[in-house]
Amino acid sequence: MSTEQTPVKTPHDELVARFLTFACWDHHEHGKADHRMYDRAAQKMLAHHPELQRDSLYTAIVCGHLEEVQRLLDAEPELINKPGGAREWSPILYLCYTRFSNKQTIDNAAAMARLLLERGADPNAFYMAGDAVYSALVGVAGEGEQDSPRQPQAKALFQILLEHGANPFDIQVLYNTHFSGEVLWWLELIYEHSLKTGRIAEWKDPNWMMLDMGGYGSGAQFLLTLAQKKNDLVLAEWCLTRGARAVPQPLPYHPKHRAKGADMDSIRRQAVFMQQTEMAALLERCGAQSTPPVFEGEEAFAFACFNMNLDEVKKQIEQHPEYLQSATVLLAAAQRNRADVVALLLDLGGPIEIEQQGHRALHEAAGNKAIDVAKLLIERGAEVDPLDPIWKSAPLGWAAHADDQQMLDFLSRYSRFVWTLSFRGYVDRLREVVEENPDLAKSADSEGYTLLWWLPDDESKAIEIVKLLIAHGANPAAKSKAGTTAASWARKREMLEVVKLLE
């Protein structure tokens, strides 16, 4: 039996580890508000502990301290690809994944990239996020299901990495950026890079298999479908004029299942369904069929609704009254901010609280910046705070995840969902709700975290909320199942005045 003991971390070691963790995103953090919270905590740490920027090569990179990085590499060149720091990454990954909004970090990002790569940093460095390869390019692009901000100097860093040998055809970059649909900025870079490096032949394949997305379709299918969903004519035309075509083909989706990606005709059919006349015409000019598509079943009902064809809608309901009881069209209209379609369905007697997989129209509106639909639903008497079964979140929480300030301001006037009211700093509304029902001040989730963990970044508002909650029965000494206290979490966020109150 080994007698070697694991070294005990000192408070300084813990501070450094926390700083690197908070200053850099990875696949575990989700939502713009969380990224912002961690960034602000890192800012406070550096302000309270300026010595952090000289602690190691990793902290110097994150802080944008170019001279210190150069000094350290001059002394120990072998550090250039050595994994380390809180995340056990190589140095180039800390540069690509940091979202530390420190002026020096942002201003020196391109120069830092050149310095590291010229010293031998691997442009294809990566870490594994489950089964996904999260490369340096992925770090620069950001987004993904984590909704990470893009690196402020993304185009410059992407270009520098390509020039030094990064694989241009990174499908994780495509997947992560498809959520916003903002893919053209890096597509243009890799296309120009292909021209310069003699790899343009790979773009001649109409399927663009160099960006093959497996069960999601070939690169061409995936991008043209994305352009149609976002009604992005610029992206669609860019792809089509460079030879992309959605050609049907069997693609592996699961070891026991094979699926076909969308073809030109099906993409054009969806464009017609969504009344995207210019998109449909563009696809027709590039080879899609031009005959009017035929819609059947509930799809025909939806098509009539989205075209506000009242006679056809009524005819469909007479033949299939169950269509009006289906959540499909109502939730699709909520996603697209089609208040006119929602009003039509409700006026015809459709239920307002109908669910699909446990969430309702107000959830969809809140999560998709559909403010017109949200206002209509509230006016028509929709329940304000239904909880979805997966995230246990009210529509206000969905608006928070979408980081939609307009929606948050609107829903917060009606919501009693204290978790988001607290985290987003709606002090006055939280006071109204807690004074009406003091037991809410003692709310705790399944892991034992109370509202005292859910404080806004604005420390003055956080202090008001702490005082409010304690005055109405919240216990500052309460421990989570993990054995932590609200004070320990506030300390990690460098909210030192809050810590004094809680302790």
CA distance linking residue 490 with residue 498, whole number of Å: 7
**Are 148 and 6 in the same domain?**
yes
Q: Given this model, what pLDDT does residue 256 score?
A: 39
**Are 341 and 426 in the same domain?**
no
% residues pLDDT > 70 (the chain): 95
pLDDT, tens digit, 9 for 90 and up, residues 365-374:
999 999 999 9
pLDDT-based confidence at residue 8 (cuts at 50, 70, 90): very low
CA distance linking residue 135 with residue 126, whole number of Å: 4
Q: Given this model, what pLDDT does residue 260 score?
A: 53
Phi and psi, residue 252, nearest 5°: -70, 130
The three-state secondary structure class of 250 is strand
Per-residue pLDDT for 376 more than 50?
Answer: yes
Short-list 401, 366, 422, 388, CA closest to 30:
401
Short-list 39, 75, 44, CA closest to 57:
75
- CATH for 4: 1.25.40
- CATH for 423: 1.25.40.20
**Are 232 and 373 in the same domain?**
no
pLDDT-based confidence at residue 4 (cuts at 50, 70, 90): very low
271 contacts 278 by C-beta, under 8 angstroms: no
Q: Given this model, what pLDDT does residue 9 score?
A: 58
Q: Given this model, what pLDDT does residue 157 score?
A: 98
**Are 48 and 116 in the same domain?**
yes
For residue 345, the Cα-to-chain-centroid distance in whole angstroms is 31
SS3 annotation, 157-222: HHHHHHHCCCCCCCHHHHHHHCCCCCCHHHHHHHHHHHHHHCCHHHHCCCCCHHHCCHHHCCHHHH
Per-residue pLDDT for 231 more than 50?
Answer: yes
**Are 181 and 260 in the same domain?**
yes
The structure tokens listed for 409 are 């301001």
Q: Given this model, what pLDDT does residue 257 score?
A: 38
Q: Provide the 8-state DSSP code for 446.
A: T
pLDDT-based confidence at residue 153 (cuts at 50, 70, 90): very high
22 contacts 37 by C-beta, under 8 angstroms: no
Q: Provide the 8-state DSSP code for 393.
A: -
Per-residue pLDDT for 350 more than 90?
Answer: yes
Q: Given this model, what pLDDT does residue 302 score?
A: 96
Per-residue pLDDT for 320 more than 60?
Answer: yes
Per-residue pLDDT for 388 more than 70?
Answer: yes
The radius of gyration computed from the CA coordinates of the chain, to the nearest angstrom, equals: 26
Q: Given this model, what pLDDT does residue 156 score?
A: 98
Q: Given this model, what pLDDT does residue 30 score?
A: 85
Q: Given this model, what pLDDT does residue 253 score?
A: 44
pLDDT, tens digit, 9 for 90 and up, residues 253-312:
444 333 456 899 999 999 999 999 999 999 999 999 999 999 999 999 999 999 999 999
**Are 275 and 378 in the same domain?**
no
Residue finishing a domain among 137, 164, 191? 164
Q: Given this model, what pLDDT does residue 29 score?
A: 80
Nearest 10 degrees: Cα torsion 65, 69, 71, 72: 130
CA distance linking residue 139 with residue 381, whole number of Å: 44
pLDDT-based confidence at residue 249 (cuts at 50, 70, 90): low
Per-residue pLDDT for 465 more than 90?
Answer: yes
Q: Domain count for the chain, please give it.
A: 4
- The sign of the torsion formed by the CA atoms of 228, 232, 237, 243 equals negative
pLDDT-based confidence at residue 394 (cuts at 50, 70, 90): very high
Average pLDDT over every residue of 101-121: 98
Average pLDDT over every residue of 101-107: 97
Average pLDDT over every residue of 55-77: 98
483 in the Ramachandran plot: left (φ > 0), alpha (ψ -120 to 50) or beta? left
Residue finishing a domain among 142, 164, 186? 164
Per-residue pLDDT for 248 more than 90?
Answer: no
Q: What average pLDDT is seen over the chain?
A: 94
- Residue 251 parent element (H or E): strand 250-254
CA distance linking residue 364 with residue 387, whole number of Å: 12
The structure tokens listed for 91 are 């140095």
pLDDT-based confidence at residue 458 (cuts at 50, 70, 90): very high
**Are 496 and 436 in the same domain?**
yes
**Are 403 and 457 in the same domain?**
no
Considering only residues 239 and 251, tell me which one the structure prediction assigns the higher pLDDT: 239
**Are 127 and 150 in the same domain?**
yes
Short-list 296, 313, 299, 303, CA closest to 275:
303
**Are 343 and 483 in the same domain?**
no
Q: Given this model, what pLDDT does residue 384 score?
A: 98
**Are 110 and 141 in the same domain?**
yes
Per-residue pLDDT for 167 more than 90?
Answer: yes
- The sign of the torsion formed by the CA atoms of 145, 146, 149, 155 equals negative
Residue finishing a domain among 113, 139, 164? 164
Per-residue pLDDT for 2 more than 80?
Answer: no
pLDDT, tens digit, 9 for 90 and up, residues 29-58:
888 999 999 999 999 999 999 999 999 999
What domain range includes position 175?
Answer: 168-289
**Are 262 and 359 in the same domain?**
no
